[in-house]
Amino acid sequence: MSLDERKNFIKPPESYWIASTPTTDYPTLTEDIKTDIVIVGGGMSGISCAYMLLKEGVKVAILEADRILQGTTGHTTAKITSQHGLIYNKIKSKMSMEFAKQYADANESAIRLIEKMQRELHIDCDFMHQPSYVFTRQDEYVQKIKDEVETASSLGIKASYVEEIPFDIPIKAAVRFENQAQFHPRKYLLALAKEVVNQGGSIYEHTRAIDIEENGAYVITTNQGKRVTAEKVIIASHYPFYNKHGMYFARLYTERSYSIAIKAKEKYPGGMYITAEEPAKSLRSQMSDDGELIIIGGEHHKTGQGKDTTSHYEALIAFAHDHFTVEDIPYRWSTQDCMTLDDVPYIGHYTADTPNLYIATGYKKWGMTTSTVSAMLLSDLIIRGKSPYQDVYNPSRKTIGASAKEFVKENINVAKELIKGKFTPIPKDFDIKPGEGKVINGLGERTGAFRDEQGVLHLVNTTCTHMGCELQWNSAERSWDCPCHGSRFTYDGKIIDGPAVMPLEYNRDVNIFEKLIKDDF
């Protein structure tokens, strides 16, 4: 990595999608309200669901904890594809051919719906069709790719087996899907959000839902103490904040992955690509006001776990230099994805016993089509009582039982991280340089410390407010991350990602702590 590239790490990460679009300014909820349906979460799922329900004449309100479209939606690679890795043969083998067909039909329909909506609403969002590839450079994946081609083709997807891709990368095999697409997600969704308001819907920003009560209708309480009463509730907040039913904290885990946007001397050859093997690398291009960008993504790990997070950006930069003449790296960002036990999202009734409470989560890095699938599926369930895709995505599906080994493995991991965080000795190391964060033993307890570039020390209680796991420092994003369920907090304790609904304790006496440091030295 060059000196200029290292300088990029001094600046906070910045998503191209957010940097290239205006910020929003929807109001905060300041009074109690009633509505037909309340949607918790203002990402692509929430905005798309609201738009489709409003078209059916339903009154809808969206509650967003921050600004809309700045979470996972604003930190995507923005591929609109039914090609979700090597998924179809897995669903066929582990679930059924019928479920594989539902999954294929849902995602192919989502591609067509996004294309239709951007065309009918005259949204300039850089939409264009692209072929999509999963390729491998290892012999062990060749048969898996052949099986995927056969299964996907039998489901009606235009899939083919190829042994070359337009890059100067020697490969063993690849599956190519036709008629896939890419776009600028915030250009599309900011326009869709305006349509939501134009059609009578309400969007409230900086309005965090912290609890749900059921008393005939549902009552959502916000962090400002306001109450929203609704007949039906859709939880589209990425990781569900509601813990009273469904055991989602035991059926989901979170992963972080990384992206860089480079400017290269070479012209991008077209198409969208991802490796079959791990750690995955993905590629696509995007035209910007300053020329062509090549977006390289991958390098995933469990949130709050793994090695120094900066190293994942460095790995992507090394990959970029291996395949392009890199001229600049103007953007880098990371995202968080919810993963299910069987790799199929949970979309539908929150539990079998909650007919008016719905959920959409567990997209496993494929949020563009899956968010749109959620909108189609949930609007069908709410308006018509059924959906052609409901069985494969059913959060209470019986086939989840076949993932018992994965359930045990993930929950052992959570227990291990919880115990490790509570009992690992913490050094009394007060040498904290500007820009550095660490967990230290200060004032008789576990303390998270970060010193900013002005020399100011920021101290937090590192116990996650969700379920009590101990947080770890994320050097690349300057955040405190939970290794158990994926909550993330700023260095001064504010919530970045749920399921936590309460910030970290931040009312430490920094002056006393600084005196303790001087006395120690």
Distance CA 44, CA 24 (A): 15
- The answer, yes or no, to whether residue 419 has pLDDT greater than 50, is no
Other residues' Cβ atoms within 10 Å of the Cβ of residue 310: 14
Token pair, residue 106, equals: 């849902």
SS3 content of the chain, % helix, strand, coil (to 5): 30, 30, 40
Domain ranges of the chain: 3-402, 436-520
User: How far, in Å, CA of 380 to CA of 451, rounded?
Assistant: 51
CA–CA gap between residue 40 and residue 234 (Å, rounded): 6
Tokens of 155: 């489901």
Give the tens place of pLDDT for each residue, 470-487: 899 998 888 999 988 889
Hey, what are 58's tokens? 């339903």
Task: Please give the Cα distance from 270 to 307 (Å, whole number).
Answer: 33
**CB 357, CB 235: distance < 8 Å:** yes
> pLDDT tens-digit profile of 336-388?
999 998 999 999 999 999 999 999 999 999 999 999 999 999 999 999 999 99
Share of the chain above pLDDT 70, in %: 88
End-to-end CA, the chain = 36
Beta-bridge partners for 221: 211, 227
| H-helix segments, 68-156 | 88-94, 97-120, 142-154
- DSSP-assigned beta bridge partners for residue 441: 446
pTM of the full structure: 0.88
> Is the CB of residue 348 less than 8 Å from the CB of residue 388?
no
CA distance 400 to 391: 12
| Cβ(180)–Cβ(272) below 8 Å | yes
In CATH, 436-520 is 2.102.10.10 = yes
pLDDT higher than threshold 50 for residue 421 = no
CA pseudo-torsion sign 458, 463, 467, 472: positive
pLDDT per residue over 112-139, tens digit each? 999 999 999 999 999 999 999 999 999 9
Tell how strand 33-40 and strand 60-63 pair up.
Answer: parallel
105 near 180, Cβ under 8 Å? no
The pLDDT score that the predictor gives to residue 169 is: 87
What CATH number labels 3-402? 3.50.50.60
CA 37 to chain centre: 24
